Structure 1
């Protein structure tokens, strides 16, 4: 009997192995965004889920359905046919999908959408169009911002700002001046340029004067004769733009500007409103980015009313979120800060004025000055990543945080009075949440290494909800995938734990010797490893594992979600500490018996391109092959906001800039290095790579070079597939073969 059982087990194992081997290999068309089969292989989703007050709704192509928060049962609410009948009656083109609509008003049977250059409100109670405002006649409007409180839409055409057809800025064109668009190159959390007041009385907007900024001469080669299409690009240490904040009164059509003084070498960030619309709040930052002030202005006059909070740090202060008032108490608001070393929330009381302001010096070497009574709301060696919303009845703020793990995003309900945190939903994996109007429910979109996707409606009291979707993974079902694991190694400082992701080759044989590639980023505001599908491994990583490579990624010091000290240890010397940590990753690879330590490559993009090039030049005896995409070569060529935050200016930090100037190391190149760029990259401008090629020519070294004409900082669509074909060929030609 024992013998029969052993034969049965052997048969099952053999059958499983044959089954795995019979699965067809995946291609780059399967795993790269833009590939012909990519979207067919992503886990099923439920797009269009949203809230109409406390009613969950799901908009798809043909209609909108309500979703019962307790049972998940769906009921048709609106159909595309009836919406198109209403549009036809107004002489408008038909709509092809309802997936882009949303519900601005919790108590009204109305949906809002933009269509055919119009701002449209459809009343599904009366089955009629209740608002139809033309946004642009000859030119397509951009940056639309609809205000539910007054049903007006702000938008831009070119560099001008409009509200429902009325141009806010002067009719004459101001050379180099931009209205109503994001400023400061989208740093400091700035993603838009218009900000409606709560009741719709005012519109705050950015005015950015770039006339004094040097043009970077981008060239469009797709025209009959190449055309100059310059970007306004303020490089580190050079003259930057000037920003002012305007307040437009919708009723009077008059504009005042905040009287903030000279805008030279200053940043105006995180604009927000008081609930009564009487005040505008701005977090202002000096050019050195080491001194932030929360300033209040009078909305009607633009007069400065006072500085409520100040924060200084010898390295940098980086405000990224506007203040948020409590829905149940107009006298208190939440301020975000890293003043204790981690991104946390602080409750400020406008009724309790501290005079003189209370000075504090915190343990992480920074200092603060508080003019309002301030209470820390969250604390610990973890970060608040987002304020999802509020539950006014229970006096709770719903947050997303890394409290469970730096590799995860979990949801918590935080009692504002006691600070008690109640977890909402599963404790594993990564969660994205959308809160109902009352804050009693949320839509939870969850993924982990074990769960491809799970979508649920959850009560925010921590109790169990209803699961709407549990998706399987088409990649796991159809293909023989590699083994993926995560773990920690010690950083070069000998104490800090760094997370790594290791991918073994498909059909791994421990007796073989495999080439290895490190995929790297390493810079601020990026983290490459999370508890998500495949632990965040990209499709190319999986593909290279199928082609017989060991793939390693290490989130080095300097990267995101580990606290301020973890990030800012690279200050003024970008690349130094990060490279030391990546070399620790190499040591880990060399400790694996199946890795060929003579065939180690490296690849990264943007900051990762800088790291790739730097590693190839600094450790030429370690790395045999590298592919650097869109790399920073010389931080003097990078823009003011990001570059000066982490490096200061070239004038004040000449040693740091020289040490991070990869042209100085061009003669060190031994292995095969390819540089790949977009021909009109507006982020890491082509000058980086061109000057590096010149330095290599002068030094007698021979990198390879490839350009995607008219592409920007990243390749998209079919170009992205071609890019990864090209990268793969380079490693196949120069790393795989001894």
Structure 2
């Protein structure tokens, strides 16, 4: 339902956003489908509860954490759903890595056993037969036999900042979206695992401040662009013989192994290998006993080969074929291959992108694929089905906007999460057969009433031109009492990173509530996805290759100058802000944009790509050794002399940022001082890249709000 007030009835406050959580919509989170697709489980009130998807009254408490005396932070079932791995005392490490205490709970006998007494564990995982659990601890891999609770240590050479077994190093975790780096074979008799030899990787040192007299040093391995990476080994441990087979991943050591998984054959391990520049991808099939491997598929690009870690490679249950997604025809599409790597067919095609492969139903002779795509618009995400022959394509989502889907394991039901720029989020349950709506699980009417009460204004979608004349997606938020005869200040927001999108036909988005607050205060907020962003095909996304920042900044500057020409825009009061890549971009746009902007806010920005990690940076820029100008020509540090004396610049960073190091802010600050430029800077002690915790976000946004009001 589309409802927007014409004028605000209740002022939005920062406390509403960051303290009271006034604008929190309802959803159906944490759904874990059971073997029987009619049931799912969820963690609620410290209990693991099984619910009947079609009968609200049919629910069963499977595990009661309170009765067991533990706080359940997470859980996983064994394949037969008779046992549950319970996680407690969760302790985050980086973005995806963590350690915790695990317990094994038998649902029938109600017996609870602590998995290990040797210290916290990471990524504990049942074997496929449910008889064992593997985990990582202290950079080594362990297995527990659940019948005896006897613990076996599979690796012994793990050492902090030297050797990691079974867990990812920092840069793999951040850029290849993985923390767990061990994998059970389908027969439960073998475990494949990574070994990272990071002894040659240089360390980054972060000082951490507490109440003590001296700060503590935290040193960790972080390969910056052009520097040495970890050396990778892929091994298979045979549990019955305690023999270890090293997989043949080639003689070249300066490579990446972004993904490892078992095929349907417990003797064949699938390994994706990429070269250092990430413009060549190979799929290897390795013998689990001998380690001998062969390349079955190769893909190369003049720029880089993109990997989607959610749905990139799926081996079908027939053991004869696999599904692979690729941009090789210019758009992300789905391909079917034989096991030897020969192409069977391209399943989807067209000048649009497959954004997610939801699932593959293999219950019939011809598998049916479910996916979301941008076929109707680069702004929309629609839900489709198609068979593996490329036939019978049908659009299942009915409303125009953005749909994401969670399907039951047997594909009989799915939960649809929908919103649009004018429709608040709703969650609905469907029966797949006949695409029948069974129930609206969350209609968010209460949230909608809050939106009305606080006078949220709609996104006004429009297209802008890039500096070279290409069409760019964008939107505006205008004050509710907008009068085109008046002139308004403008704050532009962007992220701009490769493949990203801030503009879409969906509810909300990054900093939506704060932008609504600014609209209430009389500002126009403008968001534009420039060249290099996603959803418009490979050429559009890859156009920024080897010159990261150049075209992106040109586009934001070009849009700002266009806005200056609008009758209702005060051209002397246009600002830009962003976080991370967006902070890099707001800095560069202010410094190089002439009179386009009066003010910029940069939160946790990269200021030179020489300081950022190897995998991300080299994917888009090559190594500094190969492309020095690509690193330096578009670094804000190199353009500080262009910052006008009448411009306002606020630089914000967390000193505990393990991702974009505070070094970036300090070196830019030093360059600005050397150039005699005045600016504002604020550091958040010990805060990481997200700059959060306790009162932190409220403090941050009060500062940014004041800066906008004082300078625009």
| TM-score > 0.5, shorter chain as reference | yes
1:452 equivalenced with 2:424 (yes/no): yes
Change (3 A) 1:173 1:575: closer
Q: C-alpha deviations, 1:374-431, integer Å up to 9, x for none?
A: 4211111222222222222342022222223222322222201234322223342222
User: How many aligned positions are there?
Assistant: 675
710 and 535 in structure 1: CA distance in 2 versus 1, 3 angstrom threshold: closer
Per the TM alignment, residue 78 of structure 1 is displaced from its structure 2 partner at its CA by 2.2
Query: Over residues 544-569 of structure 1, what are the superposed CA-to-partner deviations in whole Å (9 max), with x where a residue is unaligned?
Result: 11222110010111112222111111
> Is the 8 Å Cα contact of residues 128 and 184 (structure 2) preserved in structure 1?
no
Change (3 A) 1:413 1:104: farther
Out of 108, 120, 143, the residue aligned to residue 163 of structure 1 is 143
> Residue 618 of structure 1 corresponds to which residue in structure 2?
592
- Once residues 510 and 628 of structure 2 are traced to their aligned partners in structure 1, the CA distance between those partners, rounded to angstroms, is 37
**Residues 237-636 of structure 1: pairs in structure 2 closer than 5 A:** 237-262=226-251, 264-304=253-293, 306-321=294-309, 322-327=312-317, 329-350=318-339, 371-394=341-364, 395-461=367-433, 463-467=435-439, 468-472=441-445, 473=447, 474-494=449-469, 496-534=470-508, 538-636=512-610
For 1:104-183, list aligned pairs within 5 A. 104-105=78-79, 108=81, 111-115=84-88, 117-123=101-107, 126=108, 128-129=109-110, 132-137=112-117, 139-164=119-144, 165-170=151-156, 173=159, 176-183=162-169
Question: Contact between 2:421 and 2:459, CA under 8 Å: does it hold in 1?
Answer: no
Secondary structure of the residue aligned to 2:617 is helix
Once residues 471 and 213 of structure 2 are traced to their aligned partners in structure 1, the CA distance between those partners, rounded to angstroms, is 55
Q: CA RMSD in A?
A: 2.4
* In structure 1, distance between residues paired with 2:529 and 2:390: 35
The 8 Å contact of residues 496 and 532 in structure 2, kept in 1 or not, is answered as yes
Q: How does 1:176-191 map to 2 (within 5 A)?
A: 176-183=162-169, 184-191=172-179
Corresponding residue number in structure 2 for 1:676: 652
1:251 to partner: Cα distance: 3.2
Provide the secondary structure at the position in 1 that maps to 2:409: coil
Partner in structure 2 of residue 644 of structure 1: 618
Report if aligned partners of 2:336, 2:347 keep a CA contact under 8 Å in 1.
yes
Which stretches in structure 2 are left out of the alignment for 5+ residues? 90-100, 145-150
Q: Hey, what's the Cα distance between the residues in 2 that align with 1:147 and 1:373?
A: 33
1:45 paired residue number: 27
Alpha-carbon distance in 2 for matches of 1:521, 1:94: 41
- Alpha carbons of structure 1 residues 381 and 311: separation in structure 2 relative to 1, 3 Å: same
Are 1:703 and 2:675 an aligned pair? Answer: no
Residue 55 of structure 1 is matched in structure 2 by 38
Distance in 2 (alpha carbons) for counterparts of 1:380 and 1:265: 36
On the 8 A contact 2:531/2:555 being kept in 1, the answer is: yes
Gaps of 5+ in 1: 1-15, 88-92, 354-370
Q: Match of 1:197?
A: 185
Q: Deviations over 1:94-139 (max 9, x none)?
A: 45x6x9445554x65655533472332342xx3x236x45334353
CA contact (8 A) 1:529 1:537 kept: no
Change (3 A) 1:121 1:382: farther
**Cα pair 2:560 2:597 within 8 Å, conserved:** no
With 427-436 and 136-145 compared, the bigger mean Cα shift is at: 136-145
Query: What TM-score, normalized by structure 2, do the two folds share?
Result: 0.89
Of the structure 1 ranges 437-446 and 664-673, higher mean CA displacement relative to structure 2 is found in 437-446
Query: 1:414-471: per-residue Cα shift (whole Å, max 9, x none)?
Result: 2012343222233422222222222222122222233322222223345222122212
By how many angstroms is 1:241 displaced?
1.5
How far apart, CA to CA, are the structure 1 residues paired with 2:656 and 2:113? 36
Instruction: Give, in angstroms, the shift of residue 297 of structure 1.
Output: 0.5
Partner of 2:710: 733
470 and 199 in structure 1: CA distance in 2 versus 1, 3 angstrom threshold: farther
Q: Distance in 2 between matches of 1:454 and 1:693?
A: 45
